[in-house]
Structure 1
Amino acid sequence: MIRSVRNPLIQAVRRLHRSSGRLDQGRLLLEGTHLLQEALGLGLRPELVLATPDWLSRHGALSQQLPDSSRLRTASPEVLAAAATTRHPDGVLLTLAVADLPTPAAGASPPDFVLALDRLQDPGNLGTLLRTALAAGVERVWLAEGADPLQPKVLRASSGAALALPIERMTAPELLSRLAGAQACGVQLVAAMVPEVAGEVRPYWELDWCRPTVLLLGNEGAGLAPELARLADRWVTIPHSPAVESLNVAAAAALLLLERPRQAHGRPGP
């Protein structure tokens, strides 16, 4: 039983709250029973599982599913609360090696459906987007700067989807190069724009989403970078009342991303 927040193991876990700590250790922190279940369901191997005695008494069957390589340690509720980022942890947290997360296969052909995000800042938005992307059949996520997808708030908001998607972080110039390469392979680049933008913009349902596609979404405040918008083959928008200037990026993404499976199920747009 770990009873002190000064324990070196607890101090190492607390460092995973920060991006620098995750980078130094090559690990990420997951909190809560649901994320443990998701990780095990994906075949991931927790390096450390820290739990209170009460949690273990209520989840004995789940703890029996841990791989032999996982270290299971108990901690007092006070110590576990100090190790967690949430105010009211449910009694368990775990660490995973970043190297165990899915990555695109080397030399793989261009993906059929990609979500590209330009400098998205809000962790809650990013987590929600990742969950929707997984539901829509997105194969890869390209992130140009912005929020760290491995921070605990993103992992919670994604309900584990961030563990299942191949996510690649890159600089803005690297994203531009990656998009140009996909375009050269015949993948259509689709930029989401506000309705009143000047230029050839069409309602999103008029696009053929069943083609190989990269959907580009921009920053919550500034929108999509001009150089990315210019590179896009198509501009689409979600018509809505002028009572609001723009939709939340996560709300807009749900409509755009799920249009692809809608059309694939035999209900194409006009």
Structure 2
Amino acid sequence: MRRHINSITSLQNEKVKAMAGLLDKKHRDRNGKFIVEGVHLVQEALLAGAQVDTVVFDAERGMPKELEALLQEAKCELVEASPAVMAKCTGTDTPPPIFGVVAKFERDASSLFMDNSLVVVLDGVRDPGNVGTIIRSADAAGADAVVLGRGCVDLYNPKTVRSTMGSLFHLPIVEAELATLLPEAKSRGIRLVGTSLQASSTCYSYDWRRSSWLLLGNESNGLSSESLQMVEENVIIPMRGGSESLNVAMAGTVLLYEAMRQRHYAEH
């Protein structure tokens, strides 16, 4: 049986105004929803069992073939819209053929404290591309969770969501107050690890097989003074060439992959 599909062409439609509003954080916070753009992200949201309220596709381009079967079974509202509506409700210069409206996640912080946990903690990381890349790397390297502390870019910012390439649906991402969370982690025997150019240990000599939380700080200023005081061990990423440093997303990826190597690929 063919799904019922609503049609919207006017930019003055109230539903269009509400969806376009989700490009702004205040409306995302007020409504508890966010936008996912493109075939891949809509597919990831549906496959992950996220609460997808509405899926909107470009009436001129038609429903993407890759999603026909999934959307036939999905319980979300289906809408075909004019190209102008697609452009108004999405954040890219070239509007995608499809987007979805998804409810924000409710994630339990208890997932952070599993045995031998490997968690990435972001402290004031502002660039959506960096945050999205770190989430993607954490997913790829098998980390247990990602924590976004105060001062980080909004997880549901459209640029952040796009940069995760769907990984935000694969592992817990917790927004938390680090001043409360980090002492609790220490009290549970979790090692808090930072990076420093003055560190005596390299990322290859640190034992990532034990419960470790990797703290990554702001692109310009590094970790806040409060987080620095909580760090128990600093490591340095060795560099043989002339580069002065790596950006935070690249550094996080290198460290996560060394942790994965030790945990899953080290010789016994």
TM-score normalised to the size of structure 2? Answer: 0.89
1:130 to 1:109, Cα distance in 2 relative to 1, 3 A? closer
Q: Is structure 2 residue 175 aligned with structure 1 residue 169?
A: yes
**Partner Cα distance (1:176, 1:90) in 2:** 40
Q: 1:27 to 1:206 in 2, by over 3 A?
A: same
Q: 1:147 aligns with which of 148, 153, 156?
A: 153
Contact 1:102/1:166 (8 A) holds in 2: no
Paired residues of 2:20 and 2:89 also in contact (CA < 8 A): yes
Q: Percent identity?
A: 34
- The Cα shift of 1:37 comes to 1.1
- Cα shift readout 1:122-174 (whole Å, capped 9, x = no counterpart): 0000000000011111212111122001111001011011222222223xxx3
Letter in 2 for 1:12: A
**Cα deviation code 1:48-73 (max 9, x no counterpart):** 011112443542x6133124420001
The answer on whether the counterparts of 1:102 and 1:165 sit within 8 Å (CA) in structure 2 is no
Residues 1:188 and 1:32: Cα distance change in structure 2 (over 3 Å): same
Q: Which residue, 105, 114, 117 being the options, matches 2:122? A: 117
Letter in 1 for 2:260: P
Which piece of structure 1 moves more, 67-76 or 240-249? 240-249
Match of 2:214 in 1: 215
Unmatched tracts of structure 2, length 5 or more: 1-6
Q: Which residue of 1 aligns with 2:92?
A: 86
Per the alignment, residue 69 of structure 2 pairs with: 64
- Contact 1:33–1:92 under 8 Å retained in 2: yes
Deviations for 1:66-105, whole angstroms, at most 9, x for unmatched residues? Answer: 244200011111221121111112311110111xx36126
Name which of structure 1's ranges 241-250 and 123-132 shifts more when overlaid on structure 2: 241-250
Q: C-alpha separation between the residues in 1 aligned to 2:265 and 2:132?
A: 29
Identify the residue that residue 239 of structure 1 maps to in structure 2.
238
Which residue in 2 is equivalent to 1:184?
A: 187
Name the TM-score, length of structure 1 as normaliser. 0.89
Q: Is the 8 A contact 2:118 2:213 kept in 1?
A: yes
CA root-mean-square deviation = 2.0
Greater shift in the superposed pair: 116-125 or 177-186? 177-186
Letter in 2 for 1:159: M
* Correspondence list, 1:1-270, <5 A: 1-59=7-65, 62-66=67-71, 67-98=73-104, 101=105, 103-104=107-108, 110-111=113-114, 112-145=117-150, 146-170=152-176, 174-193=177-196, 195=197, 197=198, 200-241=199-240, 243-267=242-266
Give the 3 Å change call, closer, same or farther, for CA 29–109 of structure 1 in structure 2.
closer
* Structure 1 residues 21 and 74, CA gap change in structure 2 (3 angstroms): same
Q: Deviations over 1:197-240 (max 9, x none)?
A: 3xx53110001101011000110000112332232121001122
Structure 1 CA distance for aligned equivalents of residues 63 and 168 of structure 2 = 29
Query: 1 CA distance for matches of 2:55 and 2:232?
Result: 47
For 2:4, the equivalent position in structure 1 comes to none
Q: Distance in 1 between matches of 2:184 and 2:145?
A: 15
SS in structure 2 of the partner of residue 205 of structure 1 = coil
- Structure 1 counterpart of 2:214, one-letter code: L
Q: Distance in 1 between matches of 2:36 and 2:96?
A: 12
Q: Is the 8 A contact 1:102 1:163 kept in 2?
A: no
Amino acid of the structure 2 residue aligned with 1:228:
S
Contact 1:17/1:151, CA 8 A, preserved across alignment: yes
